[in-house]
A and B are shown apart, each in its own frame.
Chain A
Amino acid sequence: MISHRPGGAAPPLPGGDAAGGGGHRPRRPGRRPPRRAPRRRVPLGARLRRDWPLLLMTAPALGLLAVFHYVPTAGNVIAFQDYNVYDGFLGSPWVGFDNFFWLFSDASFWHATGNTLLITAFQLVFYFPIPIGLAVLLDSVLSPRLRLLLQSVVYMPHFFSWVLVVTLFQQIVGGAGLISQLLRRNGYEALDVMSNPDVFLLVVTSQVVWKDAGWGTIIFLAALAAINQNLYEAAAVDGAGRWRRLWHITLPGLRPVIVLLLIMRLGDALNVGFEQFFLQRDAFGADAAEVLDTFIYHRTLTTAAYSYGAAAGLVKGAVGLALILVANKVAHRMGEDGIYRRT
């Protein structure tokens, strides 16, 4: 992944590879790592005897996963039923794919899906790069105390609830907010951004940037810390300026993490969060602000159409899984590790 490394002959640099984390093997672009020689099989019994303390340690986590994730997953069967709470899973009538047909012929479902994808796409371009830039900037701050202060300040909003964030925006840029009142008092038109569907994308993205961009830097900062400092020195000796070093050392060093997060974000394309949109749906109108999660909530939970909601949730999950698989495949094609690799 250190694609700038000349040829294939150079030995791995000392001090770990550029990606950090230790999980990524340096290799040449576009080529798979060499297959390891097949290890001798250790019999199951022997492995159990050897590994039982480790297995025991994973048991609680596995138990939690099973009880709170795998078992409830079976509840998805209600997507194929006309479910009601009185008859339960066992007694509710089966309706095959009816719920899915209803869903796919529901214009509001497509509308919400469209909105969701639009928001994802917009935020991919206008939100996703921001934590990277911010991390690079933070990383360039030399004074450790100042850096700590800055980091704390940018992390802070992550811990605010959406209710608070939305209220804060309302109080500052809303029609009766700080800026509007200031403008009015000086004879100008007041701002109208918190209820104007035309700027909805901008408003929600600014909220996400304000709230989460700082938090998003953490993983990039870790990756930055793992870049071998010798590379910078060597480049500087060779006469590379600040921008060249950024382009040829820093960004390639971050690339695996960026790709990883990008894939995860793509898999999450149909998830843009619930609260933020639920809270502002009334202000901007359903035309702009209805996303899949709010659709499912309003259309099915408040009218107790659970089967319909389960069908919508299942479609969402299936699409997310497909997107992850495809994005991972594409990453492999491009010579990246992606989020997993079959070994």
Chain B
Amino acid sequence: MPRDPRPRPLLDRRRFLGLAGAGTAAAATGGLLAGCAPDGPRPGAGSAAAADRLDDLIPRYIPFEGPAPDIPGVDGAPDAYTSFPRMIDAIGGPRGSGGSYTAMTPLWGPVPPGLGDNSHYDLMNREFGTTVEFNFQDGNTIIDKLNAVIAGGDVADVTMIPDWLVGLIPNFDRAADRLFADLTPLLAGDAVEPYPMLANLAGDAWKWGVFNERLQGVPWPSNPFAEWFLYRADLFAELDLPLPTTADEFLAVGEEINDPDGNRWAFGDFYRVMRQVFGAPREWRYAEGRLVHQVETPEFAASVEFLRRVYDAGLVHPDIAAGGTNNKELLNSGRILVDQDAVSAITEAYQAVLADDPGFRLALLPVFGHDGGAPDMHRNSPSEHCVFLRKDLAEDAQRELLTVLDYCAAPFGTEEYMNYRYGTEGEHYEFRDGAPQLTELGQQEVGNGYLFLSGRPSPIVESQYPDYVEPRAAWFNDAIRYSGEDPFQGIRIQRPDAYASVETPTTDKVMDIIRGRREVRELEDVVGEWRRDGGDEGRAFFEQVLQDHGRD
């Protein structure tokens, strides 16, 4: 039972901020005291790491020749394997020198038994030639712990920090400088050669690990897209419904599905996906020497108007309209048929449902634009997590730990991958239906900890699921053609406070419009307030970043 290697926090950062925010301005009271506000800008300017000067700081890319994929991904789309290939030995024997280190990573799910009571740990430590002891933090609350750890400066030898948290920790650059090792001399350029698996990680992802003009983090290369529409393919087939190719068809299909009397609604929420359908940019659009923010674009307005029509037509499940987060259950039980979720959510659903309901099919809706044309598919940041080494480790220790990280970067198709992911065949897992399934012992002892010690390319490999690998590979290869332009691609940006804190109130007000608590025409006011309360400040900052990078 291979778990999806990419854990999902219950709330990702965007959703988290989307839930959040401050209330709407009652402008009258606001103006009251504005007169005594201190001069100068509020503290909290942003910062940006240069993308173009980074080439010297990152490792040389040396692709690893593993088993050839059955369906190669194009332009950064993931490769796909329709069956488990013969695994190859990529590294050879243990390379460690017997050191012992601690590692702090998040973990979603139960904590496996500790060192000494866990044969999977023993196996891995033998493989490494190094002892790694985990200190797991509950993935859903890791931000609390991390803030304390960073304030106290008391970090483990290896620390994994999810990228969405890097954005939440103020002045992360300073934390990185104070706490984490500079890996540039050990990895940049040809220095990476002793670590062939790390050399196999994409350059864009490595650039994401640069802080303070130094390579500090080992990246976790991400899939190009985070979210899209998931739909119940089995029920669509049963109801003989066509797949929509325009926004109007989408609405029409929804009307056809909707059957509140039968306790079935058409949709969950798809606020973030719908604006991609309408072609709004991910964050900024650069045109004619000026940055235009997503919320200012006519495409965004059109998507809001459309969503309002969806809500007014009563097509959204009332639980979701009331801010519920039970969309997965609703979708799995067929009480809604289309929903927005992480692309990786399908594997989770299959694990949960397929055993009880073999006919269950969940799939990605084919990519479409609102008028039948091209959507603007928002690309993920190139890396989802960063793995750091403690600053005051001796260089030998750093090198030894890098061999551990290198091992954990071994991609699908290697014996190393099977070891850290599933353990020993026959003991922790066995092949069933052509795919590895954890045994009872494996389920107890094999955690996802090693997955978090390093990143690796993540191809589509779950061939044990019906109608899964081929359609998914085809979807990615199709969707990648519609990747939106992002003028800040590859630049890691710490957003200025005022700009960051205006996001939530704005989302709140847009939600009010979509859910019928405000009129659609008020969107203009909302955008005006966004500009006033931090949007324009953000624009100035981002335009400066463009200039600094010579992209204007």
Q: Assess whether B504 is in contact with A298, with CB atoms less than 8 Å apart.
A: yes
Q: Does B241 contact A (CB under 8 A)?
A: no
| B169 and A304 contact, CB distance less than 8 A | yes
Task: Find chain B residues with CB under 8 A from A317 CB.
Answer: none
CB-CB contacts of B500-542 with A at 8 A, as 1s and 0s? 1100110011011001010000000000000000000000000
**Inter-chain contact B33/A101, CB cutoff 8 Å:** yes
Assess A185 versus B261: contact at CB under 8 Å? Given A111-B25, A282-B323, A286-B24.
Answer: yes
Q: A290 and B30 in contact (CB under 8 A), knowing A108-B505, A285-B512, A302-B16?
A: no
Confirm or deny: B37 has a beta carbon within 8 angstroms of a beta carbon on chain A. yes
A136 within 8 A of B: no
Q: Does A124 contact B (CB under 8 A)?
A: no
Partner of A195, one of B38, B178, B263, B318: B318
> Which residues in A have their C-beta under 8 angstroms from that of B317?
176
Query: In this complex, what residue of B is CB-closest to A169?
Result: B322
B27 contacts the other chain (CB 8 A): yes
Contact across chains for B168 and A302 when beta carbons are under 8 A apart: yes
Cα distance A108–B533 in the bound complex, in angstroms: 11
Interface residue B17 (Cβ < 8 Å from any Cβ of A): yes
A32, chain B: closest CB distance, angstroms: 41
Tell yes or no: B321 within 8 A of A by CB. yes
- Does the CB pair B322–A85 fall under 8 Å? no
Bound form: Cα–Cα A295–B26 in Å: 14
Contact A283 B322 (CB under 8 A): yes
Closest CB in chain A relative to B261 CB, distance in Å = 5
- Nearest opposing residue in chain A for B42, CB measure: A102
Report yes or no: A303 in contact with B38, Cβ–Cβ below 8 A: no
A95: interface (CB < 8 Å): yes
How far, in Å, is A227 (CB) from chain B's closest CB? 45
**Closest Cβ of chain B: how far from A192's Cβ, in Å?**
8
Smallest distance from the beta carbon of A122 to chain B beta carbons, Å?
17
Q: What is the bound-complex CA distance between A194 and B42, given in angstroms? A: 38
Q: Nearest Cβ in chain A — how far from B177, in angstroms? A: 9
Residues from 133 to 188 in A contacting B, C-beta threshold 8 Å: 170, 174-177, 180-181, 184-185
A268 at the interface (CB under 8 A from B): no
* A104–B33 CB distance below 8 A: yes
Q: Does A190 contact B (CB under 8 A)?
A: yes
**Would you call A222 an interface residue if the criterion is a C-beta within 8 Å of the partner chain's C-beta atoms?**
no
Chain B neighbourhood of A107, CB < 8 A: 25-27, 29-31
Say whether B324 faces chain A, with CB atoms less than 8 Å apart: yes
**Would A170 and B324 be within 8 Å (CB), given that A86-B175, A287-B512 are in contact?**
yes
List residues of B (143-190) whose CB comes within 8 Å of A's CBs. Answer: 147, 150-151, 168-171, 174-175, 178
A108, A109, A184, A285: the one contacting B515 at CB < 8 Å is: A285
Q: Is the CB of A174 within 8 A of B318?
A: yes
CA distance A238 to B169 in the complex (A): 73
Q: Decide: A287 and B175 in contact? CB cutoff 8 A.
A: no
**Given known contacts A170-B322, A174-B322, A302-B168, A114 and B17 CB-to-CB distance under 8 angstroms:** no
Contact of A175 with B29 in the complex, beta carbons under 8 Å: no
In-complex Cβ contact of A283 among B42, B147, B171, B323 (8 A): B323
In the complex, the answer to whether A197 meets B517 with C-beta atoms within 8 Å is: yes
Say if the beta carbon of A105 comes within 8 Å of chain B. yes
How many A residues have CB within 8 A of the partner chain?
Answer: 49
A111-B26 in contact given A85-B147, A303-B500 (Cβ < 8 Å)? yes
Which of chain A's residues have a CB closer than 8 A to the CB of B501? Answer: 299, 303, 305
* Distance between Cα atoms of A190 and B314 in the complex (Å): 11
B19 within 8 A of A: yes
Tell me whether A101 and B38 are in contact (CB under 8 A).
yes
A-B Cβ contacts below 8 A, count: 154
CA distance A108 to B20 in the complex (A): 13
Contact check, B19 vs A110: say whether CB atoms are below 8 A apart.
Answer: no
Is B239 in the interface zone, CB < 8 Å from A? no
Name the residue of chain B whose CB is nearest to the CB of A198.
B517
The answer to the question of B497 belonging to the interface, with a C-beta cut-off of 8 Å to chain A, is yes
Closest B residue by C-beta to A171: B319
Q: Which of B319-339 contact A (CB under 8 A)?
A: 319, 321-324, 335
User: How far is it, in angstroms, between the C-alpha of A194 and the C-alpha of B30 when the chains are bound?
Assistant: 29
| Distance of A310 from chain B, by nearest CB (Å) | 14
Minimum CB–CB distance for B423 against chain A, Å: 36
Residues of A near B394 (CB, < 8 A) are none
Q: Could you tell me the distance between the alpha carbons of A197 and B42 in the complex, rounded to whole angstroms?
A: 33
Q: Is A51 an interface residue (CB 8 A)?
A: no
Contact (A194, B38) CB under 8 Å given A115-B23, A286-B22, A302-B20: no
Q: Tell me whether B318 and A111 are in contact (CB under 8 A).
A: no
Q: Which residue of B lies closest to A296 (CB)?
A: B22
- Please name the residue on chain B nearest to A85 by beta carbon: B151
**CB proximity of A277 to chain B, nearest CB, Å:** 11
Known contacts: A84-B171, A102-B42. The answer to whether A108 contacts B37 by CB under 8 A is no
B171 x A295 contact (CB < 8 A): no
**Is A281 among interface residues, defined by CB-CB distance under 8 A?**
yes
- Tell me which of B20, B36, B324, B335 contacts A297 (CB under 8 A): B20
A105 adjacent to B30 (CB under 8 Å): yes
Q: Is the CB of B37 within 8 A of A102?
A: yes
The answer to the question of A280 belonging to the interface, with a C-beta cut-off of 8 Å to chain B, is yes
B29 adjacent to A114 (CB under 8 Å)? yes
Of chain B, the residue at the smallest CB distance from A306 is B170
Chain A residues positioned under 8 Å from B43 (CB to CB): 82, 95
Judging by beta carbons under 8 Å apart, are B26 and A114 in contact? yes
Verify A305–B497 contact, CB threshold 8 A.
yes
CB distance from B22 to the nearest CB of A (A): 4
A194 touching B22, Cβ below 8 Å: no
Q: A181 touching B263 by the CB < 8 A rule?
A: yes
Collect the chain B residues with CB atoms within 8 Å of residue A106's CB: 22, 30
Interface flag for A112 (CB, 8 Å): yes
Contacts A107-B27, A195-B515, A286-B505 known; 15 new A-B pairs at CB < 8 A: A82-B43, A108-B24, A110-B29, A111-B22, A174-B319, A176-B263, A176-B319, A195-B321, A280-B323, A281-B19, A282-B19, A286-B509, A286-B512, A299-B22, A305-B44
Residues of A at the B interface (CB closer than 8 Å) are: 82, 84-86, 88, 95, 98, 101-102, 104-112, 114-115, 170, 174-177, 180-181, 184-185, 190, 194-195, 197, 280-283, 285-287, 290, 295, 297-299, 302-305
17 intermolecular pairs with C-beta atoms under 8 Å apart: A82-B43, A85-B170, A101-B37, A101-B38, A108-B24, A110-B32, A112-B22, A175-B318, A175-B319, A184-B260, A194-B318, A195-B321, A281-B19, A290-B24, A298-B504, A299-B21, A299-B504
5 closest A-B pairs by beta carbon, nearest first, are A175-B318, A107-B30, A282-B323, A290-B23, A110-B29
